[in-house]
Structure 1
């Protein structure tokens, strides 16, 4: 695909890196918000190519990782009911709850199915009117329009056996919470381009102004990320703090008006707990009262769930950017992709999974050999 190859060009990468090195005169700390960006950074060795003192802090931008333990346990309780067909994307099946995961529910006889779209769950509900079909609707703003469309479709078809367990989270309130933390070291953000393709840029200028940090909307290919870093460093060196769109091929200032209108109709903002971070005001969506009949939490009355994270797991600190994954004592030993303690090791976008997969096993040995159950022999491949 020539279009993608153009954003992996080593010569262009070197030019961007030269500009970054020539511009940066002091240490800076930038946070990439999205887990997809984290994987691209680690896979291509971008963080290793940056000048000394320019640090990339990995943010909480993995929807699987930040889905709270309480919500996972609610999903497990619903999926265990004999009348339920529980549908989910595959990356949620191995996320550990308090004492099991969805794979274990499935192995114990629960009807847990992997789907590739929420509309697949709607079709299952239409084909099996005698079963309660529940879709696990998680994610950031990116996946919300498809989930809203599924609810609309179920309503249009008159499907009263379809419901959705909603655990949507929103990025701007998370940035606000990060910046208000007394331990925050972040001086600029690489914002998630796919989120902004839906939501637009309207919520970001007040954040940039209030906290005096540049926010650069960035894509996911190596050159996208390097261009985002370059723009953020230029702003930091000049002492400016504004929002820049470095991903114009996918993002418009106004976002997607049709998606925004549908979201406003079906969802309302709500306080939401983020796994490892805590409760953030107005950081999530839930179904509006008019659509309550499709709310699985309301339908199945899942209450009284108490949870406790493994004490040895520091995934919460990883999600807040306070530590790198390999600084956790459990990383690569007690916690591996086959025996995960936290969602950051399970998810394909989790920072711990990225460090494990690309052999960032120790701070001083970025390319050390991974243990036998790594499941991959791929090395980090610096673009420069």
Structure 2
């Protein structure tokens, strides 16, 4: 906190923390909800039939898992910033090893829900935990919250960009306070059920309906795995993605063989994981899956040096910073940018549309975001004679917001349109 006016600084950080809390809460209903929904519903399903106290403890451990990931992410961002590395929200999805491990974990969880095998803790670990099924269950609850938080980070929610920008521009203490508030907002659904366990106990008694729900949740996780595989193609290349898919299939098959030798099974499973990490980390050949602009497209490759020149010539420039792993970007593209009247305006010749692909690390894009005080995507901004410094758009686009910014930047009135 600033030493010049400590009270004002504290109040400012608390205000931004409140914004971060709201951003984390909204993150629960962003397009990222598809990957996270199945994780959260699995928690509710598993809690059916438990005692009130066990239900409360389980959801508290899930909330702790969310906060643990947020704290670890905050610490990592502070460290990377300290050593001079460009940082941002969701940048871990630019790492092929991280995406590979997430894909394998989600695919294995999907196979588990669909009945291929049961995931259990090793016997030695269960003995160390006192052979307590409750304690083992709490570890699973913690992992559920951790995984849900990881899968939520590719999205940037309203208010989230403001909070993260303030945090990363401040001290390490600012970062931890604001990220903690963000984590509490993201974990609020777990905390609400922990406070009111009867919300779960009012569910129907266990029966055949639970099998149908398991199949539904398994399908959602398969969809999540497919999305992660698509991201992996962008950050590691199609050949590596195919190699990882084959290893994951071998992993699931080996885990599902009922009477396989225990040591042989462990050897195969370990080999699959190690080969996957090796393949993703050392032989990746990233493909340009988003920004490979062909001659028929109205999108140009991103070049920040050309923006000022275009504006000086009286042109209007629309910049879309996106990535394969950004689900909010995908929603903006399909619901707004690729639909009339916005698409017609971008294709009409009066606007130069640039697309910046941040699927994999790109210093030019990272510096561009930092210059505009942004540390996450989606980020859309319009430059023109009426706005040479740019008009930044909200994370969730609407046709009115885009067209209004284009009008203002090009010095056209809405009436003339």
Common fold by TM > 0.5:
no
Q: Could you tell me the TM-score, scaled by structure 1's length?
A: 0.26
Larger % of helix: which?
A: 2
Structure number, greater radius of gyration: 2
> TM-score normalised to the size of structure 2?
0.24
Q: Which has the higher strand share?
A: 1
